[in-house]
Amino acid sequence: MASVSESDDLFDCILMADDRFHVEGYREGYEEGTREGLLEGRNHGMVHGARLSAELSFYHGFAVTWKYLLQTNVDAKSKKRLKAVESLIGLISKFPFEDSQYENLQEDTERVRAKFRQVCSLLNVTADFRDYVSGSATMSF
C-alpha cells in the first residue's frame, strides 16, 4: 500500500485513530465480559449441578440405608432386594456426576433413575412416596 498523496496519509491517520479507540475499548470490554461470563456461568452451573447432585445423592443415601437394613435378613426375598440395592449403589458410586463435561452424563443419569424405580418397586415403596421423590427432584429447582 504505497501511500503517496497527503490526503492518503491523512486518511490513514484517521483510520488508525479510529482503530486505536476501538481496540482499547475492546480490550477493556473483553476483561469485563470475561468477569461477567465467569460469574454468570458459575451461578447457572451451580444450580444445575446442585439439582442433579441432590437427586442422585438422595438415591445414594436411600440405597445405602436399605442396604444396611436388609443385610440383617437372610431370606430369599431380602437377598434379591439387597442385590438390586447394591447394584444401584454401584451405579451411583462410579458415576462422576459432578463433572458437567462427562460424556455419559445423560445416559448414566437415566440408568440410575431407572434402577431406583426398580428398587422402589421391589421394596414396595408406596406411590405417594414416589411422588414426593420426583416432586423434590424438580420442586425447588
Is the CB of 2 or the CB of 128 nearer to another protein?
128
Q: What is the DSSP letter of 101?
A: T
CB of 4 vs another protein, minimal distance in Å: 25
CB of 1 vs another protein, minimal distance in Å: 22
CB of 2 vs another protein, minimal distance in Å: 27
Is the CB of 2 or the CB of 42 nearer to another protein?
42
* Amino acid in position 44: H
Is the CB of 5 or the CB of 43 nearer to another protein?
43
Helix (H), strand (E) at residue 5: none
Do residues 112 and 90 lie in contact, with contact meaning Cβ atoms separated by under 8 Å? no
Is the CB of 3 or the CB of 118 nearer to another protein?
118
CB of 3 vs another protein, minimal distance in Å: 21
Q: How many CB atoms lie within 10 A of CB 60?
A: 19
Q: Give the count of alpha carbons within 13 A of 65, CB side only.
A: 7
Q: Give the count of alpha carbons within 13 A of 48, CB side only.
A: 12
